[in-house]
Amino acid sequence: MSSPTTYELFAVKYAALDRPAPENFVFRDVHDGPMPLDFFLWVAKSPERTFVIDTGFSEETGARRNRTIIRNPRDGLAALDIDAARIEDVIITHMHYDHAGNHHLFQRARFHLQDKEMFYVTGRCMTHAVLGHSYDVEDVVQMVRRVFSRRAVFHEGDEELAPGLSVHFVGGHTMGLQMVRVWTQRGWVVLASDAAHYYANIEQSRPFPVVYNVGDMLEGHKRAYALADSPRHLVPGHDPLVLKRYPAPHRDLQGIVARLDVDPVPD
């Protein structure tokens, strides 16, 4: 492996949802209170390259699913001086509606995804409403179009996309979920995406209930810990604590953007 490039790493929040805690764990405790969920995309930026990791959902999709956009992903990226239309590499951790929408924003980009995710979203599993519900058919159709316009890049298992940035197959939550590992000034950080929605899912080994294979999801937790330099280098996919633990790049982005390439502060 070549010597890694150091990336700046950001979480960009674009929406939020109130949820009761029992909806966030397979093995429920019905006495738990509220446990809201944040929606993010992520950016890994080096002097040479910028990777956008996931693309969020659009206002239209949000309205259909009763989710409110706080700041649309294009504006969230613009706050970091990133023009979505110029992005060349998008990594899709998995194709759930909240991770793989807004295709009109990224006209120039290649989209990196796992073979198994494409297999999953175009095959028999989607005939089951409980599995297909979290996908938007238009996102899937757009990905098929990218395949034929040579803008889909398929990965199988673990692959380095650039020195200091790699994707890692996990499955579990979906058949083809992948995590992203990024070299930063504080070491290897793992963007778990939906391998761990909340810190609590992974720290307590209590999986999130939207799941294709519970056993693989639990193995994915182990894998995430193994790939990150420490548990403090692991970033869950939907936890509002991310914006509490990591600082904003500047004050007017407080509550919207967090820097993940600096150490988290204790609660």
Applying CB under 5 A, the residues found at the interface with Zn ion are 96, 194
Using alpha carbons, select from 172, 157, 180 the residue that is nearest to residue 220.
172
Query: With respect to Zn ion, which residue has the nearer C-beta, 5 or 134?
Result: 134
> Hey, which residues does 12 pair with through a beta bridge?
41, 257
Residue nearest to Zn ion (CB): 96
Q: How far is the CB of 8 from Zn ion (least distance, A)?
A: 25
Q: Tell me the C-alpha distance between 139 and 34, whole Å.
A: 30
Whole-number Å distance between alpha carbons of 100 and 118:
12
Query: Of 194 and 239, which has the nearer Cβ to Zn ion?
Result: 194
State in angstroms the smallest separation of the CB of 253 from Zn ion. 25
| 246-265 burial code (b ≥16 CB/10 A, e <16) | bbbbeeebeebbbbbbebbe
Q: Select 16 or 162, whichever has its Cβ closest to Zn ion.
A: 16
Maximum C-alpha span of the chain: 51
Minimum distance, C-beta of residue 173 to Zn ion, in the bound complex (Å): 6
CB closer to Zn ion out of 96 and 112 = 96
Q: How far is the CB of 238 from Zn ion (least distance, A)?
A: 8
Q: Is 150 in a helix, a strand, or coil?
A: coil
